[in-house]
Amino acid sequence: MILGVNIDHIAVLREARKVNDPDILEAMYIAIQAGADQITIHLREDRRHIHDNDAYRIAKLSKVPVNLECSINEEIIDIVCDIKPTRATLVPEKREEVTTEGGLDVLTYKKQITKAVQKLKNNGIDVSLFIDPDFDMIDASKETGANMIELHTGSYANIYAMLYGNLSYSHHCIKTLDLPKKELEKKLQRSLKTLKNAAKYGKKINLEVAAGHGLNYQNVIEITKIKQIQELNIGQSIIARSVFSGLDSAIKEMKQLCSQK
């Protein structure tokens, strides 16, 4: 299974002090050396972490494919066409969100998304759509001309964290998931089944299938067992682990988990 390492959070730390430390390019080189199959970054409209010059340099210097996440904003799409990453993954984006909160609403914004997909493809860029694991969204994604979907695993990850992690004891506790263990176990199995069915359906209609969001060293194992998913994009948990173990070790550990049968 391909591992795309999202290095956005290196830039988050850099922007916290407005200095070029840590260096995003150094992170890219370490990630590649550690076995990352792909470098993933998100060029947000508000430029809260990755900036245009970061994206240009990474696309130019990376020896592995670059997956650039972005909104369907026309100005952003024009910049991505100029950067020419290996792939663009279209994601929903709200200024006030901490991180991407859900999948792209392909049904509502199908016309705009199709326009963005075609422009990117005309510039030689593969296109993936970051969507919730929903059959209607998968069908709509296919109709836009995108050749890949990335299934949003956030719901699965949140349930897992509330069930097996310490999230419920923290001030980030998800109140809607503050439920009895048996109920959370059922929710987790339903969420996992939904992801499995969505991956199977996507593959059936000839879409490449990736997955990502909230995946970590504990919950990723079940996702790696879904054979139709060929790629995972993981960032925050790797960077968090690297604070204690180093980026090289953190990536190698995740890579090993992704390689398990």
How confident is the model over 146-186, as pLDDT tens digits? 999 999 999 999 999 999 988 888 999 999 999 999 999 99
Q: What is the pTM of this model?
A: 0.94
**DSSP-derived 3-state class of residue 137:** helix
The per-residue pLDDT for 172 is 92
Check if 69 is active-site.
Answer: yes
State which amino acid sits at residue 251. I
The one catalytic residue in 9, 49, 69, 231 is 69
- 3 state SS for 55-78: HHHHHHHCCCCEEEEECCCHHHHH
Residue of 9, 49, 152, 213 marked active site: 213
Burial class (CB in 10 A: 0-12, 13-18, 19+), 80: buried
* pLDDT for residue 85: 98
**Residues contacting residue 218 through CB under 8 Å, at least 6 positions apart:** 160, 164, 165
Q: Is the pLDDT of residue 110 over 70?
A: yes
42 in catalytic set: yes
Question: What ranges do the domains of the chain cover?
Answer: 2-258
pLDDT of residue 196: 98
DSSP character for 180?
-
Nearest Cα to Cα of residue 80 among 107, 117, 112, 110: 117
pLDDT above 60: residue 98: no
Cα gap 247→66, rounded to integer Å: 18
Distances (CA, A) of 92 to 133, 155, 247: 15, 16, 28
Active site residue 208: no
- Residue 96, pLDDT > 70, answer no
- Tell me how far CA of residue 189 lies from CA of 163, 177, 222, 230, in angstroms: 12, 14, 10, 21
The tokens for 261 are 């049968």
Buried b (16+ CB within 10 A) or exposed e, 113-147: bbebbebbeeeebbbbbbbbbbeebbebbbebebb
Average of per-residue pLDDT across 7-13: 96
**Which entry of 42, 49, 93, 150 is annotated as an active-site residue?**
42
Half-sphere exposure of 161 (CA within 13 A, CB side): 22
Inform me whether the pLDDT recorded for 79 exceeds 70.
yes
Residue 28 or 101, more confident: 28
The percent of residues in the chain predicted with pLDDT above 70, rounded, is 97
Q: From 1.10.10.10, 3.20.20.70, 3.30.1490.100, 3.40.630.30, which CATH number describes the 2-258 domain?
A: 3.20.20.70
